[in-house]
């Protein structure tokens, strides 16, 4: 598959051709990030920051039903008429090319693309905007992933299997997070985002400690990214339970605001400029299993990936601590909670883990990662997770999956 975006940050940063051994450190972030209740009403006002007066909105049909009126009325109040393009559900090259040609066929010269929705819609929106050569504005309606702030998209096949990523020269021009929308969304999304956010600390730490580790942007991680990744997980540990309760009540409170920021801004900068390793590689592997792919969210798979990473790195105390928190908040702690049966799904799961072990992200681990040690770590993590759930209980998980 060829794309019109062949930017690859790793060779850019390597400087190997200049004889330098170590790449420089680097950090990127969205140009602007704004968060608070009821901000969707005021999107038009903030478009002045891009600046944009002729936007196109990219949103799913369900998103348009739920948020379209509020969004478009807010824009119209400022005499901004936006075209609407429907996101058809998968962040695949088929969908990206379809949406880009559909918008080109509309014939208007748009000056921004506003992607409104969950992680896949936002990621597809970034790819569409780069093809139209216009800035992307990101409005997450759930806080379930670290997609909103990054200059890359995870690309899936039409069937939903993770295929890799596409990187962009520019971070999103503007990220607007309406915390009231997040408070009104199902709690499971916020909790999944906490799984993604927790992993940020451990993945960034591994990349930082390994002298050969690289951040996603291609350089060595900065200490700023380390501090952000650390704060990201600590915020989830400190405020996660209270934030989930606020979300159950549908109310924005300071704990929920902090966790939304951790899931969205800190996790986004933390993974991109801090680095990604085993937790995300293993999560990508789970997308090869139809039951996990159909019924579970990215952050839920990352949580199990994180337990596997900690088992692989043999930091068992931490693995137990994270597993207990996952059980308390309702994240999967063992494979059955991702609808994976280690006996019936054994061969497919082993093959999935072999794919995970072979991803370039695993190069950030300071030792050789093989299909065998990844498989052994997964089984060890499953055992630790089952013990944590036996001790903490599975009420939080069942409440989210009722
Ligand atoms: Zn993630």
- Residue 34, domain CATH: 3.40.50.1970
Q: How far is the CA of 79 from the centre of ligand 1 (A)?
A: 37
**Spatial distance between the Cα atoms of 246 and 241, rounded to a whole number of angstroms:** 9
Q: How far is the CA of 303 from the centre of ligand 1 (A)?
A: 10
Q: How far is the CA of 299 from the centre of ligand 1 (A)?
A: 6
Q: Does the structure show a pLDDT above 70 at 336?
A: yes
Q: Select from 162, 182, 202 the last residue of a domain.
A: 182
User: What pLDDT, in 10s, does the model give residues 155-173?
Assistant: 999 998 888 889 999 999 9
User: Domain containing 224 — which CATH number?
Assistant: 1.20.1090.10
Q: How far is the CA of 313 from the centre of ligand 1 (A)?
A: 19
Residues 84 and 199 grouped into a single domain: no
User: What pLDDT, in 10s, does the model give residues 196-224?
Assistant: 999 999 999 999 999 999 999 999 999 99
**Spatial distance between the Cα atoms of 54 and 49, rounded to a whole number of angstroms:** 13
Residues 150 and 214 grouped into a single domain: no
In a domain, 2, yes or no: no
Q: Does the structure show a pLDDT above 50 at 78?
A: yes
In a domain, 4, yes or no: no
| Structural contact between residues 323 and 306, judged by C-beta atoms closer than 8 angstroms | no
Work out whether strand 83-87 and strand 55-60 pair parallel, antiparallel, or are unpaired.
Answer: parallel
| Structural contact between residues 55 and 82, judged by C-beta atoms closer than 8 angstroms | yes
Q: List all residues 6 or more positions away from 314 whose beta carbon is below 8 Å from its beta carbon.
A: none
Tokens linked to 85: 């393009």
Q: Select from 137, 158, 182 the last residue of a domain.
A: 182
Q: How far is the CA of 120 from the centre of ligand 1 (A)?
A: 11
Q: How far is the CA of 285 from the centre of ligand 1 (A)?
A: 13
Q: Does the structure show a pLDDT above 60 at 87?
A: yes
In a domain, 1, yes or no: no
Q: What are the residues facing 113 on neighbouring strands?
A: 56, 136
**Tally of domains within the chain:** 2
Please give the full DSSP string across 161-182, using - where no structure is assigned: -EEEEEE-SS--SEEEEEHHHH
Residues 46 and 135 grouped into a single domain: yes
Q: What is the pLDDT of residue 249?
A: 98
Q: How far is the CA of 77 from the centre of ligand 1 (A)?
A: 36
Residues 46 and 20 grouped into a single domain: yes
Q: How far is the CA of 271 from the centre of ligand 1 (A)?
A: 8
Give ion ligand 1 contacts, CB < 5 A: 146, 196
In a domain, 151, yes or no: yes
In 3D space, the residue among 210, 95, 219 whose CA is nearest the CA of residue 160 turns out to be 95
Q: How far is the CA of 302 from the centre of ligand 1 (A)?
A: 7
Domain limits for position 34: 10-182
Q: Does the structure show a pLDDT above 60 at 3?
A: no
Q: Select from 154, 182, 210 the last residue of a domain.
A: 182
Q: How far is the CA of 55 from the centre of ligand 1 (A)?
A: 28
Q: How confident is the model at residue 2 (pLDDT cuts 50, 70, 90)?
A: very low
Q: How far is the CA of 297 from the centre of ligand 1 (A)?
A: 10
| Structural contact between residues 206 and 367, judged by C-beta atoms closer than 8 angstroms | no
**pTM (predicted TM-score):** 0.94
User: What pLDDT, in 10s, does the model give residues 350-367?
Assistant: 999 999 999 999 999 999
In 3D space, the residue among 280, 283, 298 whose CA is nearest the CA of residue 364 turns out to be 280
Residues 254 and 176 grouped into a single domain: no
């Amino acid at each position: 598959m060829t794309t019109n975006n062949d930017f690859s940050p790793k060779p850019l940063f390597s400087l190997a051709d200049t004889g330098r051994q170590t790449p420089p450190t680097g950090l990127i972030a969205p140009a602007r990030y704004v968060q608070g209740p009821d901000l969707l009403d005021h999107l038009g006002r903030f478009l002045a920051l891009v600046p944009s007066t002729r936007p196109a909105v990219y949103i799913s049909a369900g998103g348009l039903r739920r948020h379209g009126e509020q969004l478009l009325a807010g824009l119209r109040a400022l005499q901004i008429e936006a075209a609407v393009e429907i996101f058809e559900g998968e962040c695949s090259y088929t969908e990206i090319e379809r949406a880009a040609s559909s918008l080109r066929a509309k014939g208007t010269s748009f000056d921004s693309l506003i992607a409104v929705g969950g992680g896949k819609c936002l990621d597809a929106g970034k790819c569409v905007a780069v093809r139209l050569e216009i800035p992307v504005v990101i409005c997450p309606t759930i806080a379930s992933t670290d997609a909103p702030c990054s200059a890359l998209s995870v690309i899936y096949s039409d069937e939903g299997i993770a295929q890799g990523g596409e990187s962009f020269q520019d971070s999103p021009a503007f990220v607007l997070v309406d915390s009231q929308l997040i408070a009104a969304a199902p709690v499971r999304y916020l909790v999944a985002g906490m799984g993604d956010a927790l992993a940020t600390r451990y993945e960034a730490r591994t990349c930082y400690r390994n002298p050969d580790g690289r951040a996603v942007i291609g350089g060595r991680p900065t200490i700023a990214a380390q501090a952000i990744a650390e704060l990201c997980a600590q915020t989830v540990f400190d405020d996660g339970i209270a934030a989930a309760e606020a979300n159950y009540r549908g109310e924005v409170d300071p704990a929920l605001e902090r966790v939304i920021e951790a899931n969205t801004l800190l996790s986004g900068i933390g993974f991109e400029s801090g680095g990604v390793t085993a937790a995300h590689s293993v999560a990508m592997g789970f997308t090869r299993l139809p039951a996990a792919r159909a019924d579970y969210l990215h952050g839920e798979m990352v949580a199990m990936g994180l337990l596997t990473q900690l088992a692989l790195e043999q930091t068992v105390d931490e693995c137990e601590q994270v597993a207990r928190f996952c059980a308390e908040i309702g994240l999967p702690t063992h494979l059955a909670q991702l609808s994976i049966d280690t006996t019936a799904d054994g061969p497919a799961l082993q093959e999935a883990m072999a794919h995970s072990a072979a991803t370039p992200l695993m190069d950030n681990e300071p030792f050789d990662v093989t299909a065998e040690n990844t498989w052994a770590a997964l089984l060890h993590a499953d055992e630790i997770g089952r013990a944590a759930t036996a001790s903490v209980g599975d009420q939080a998980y069942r409440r989210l999956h009722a």
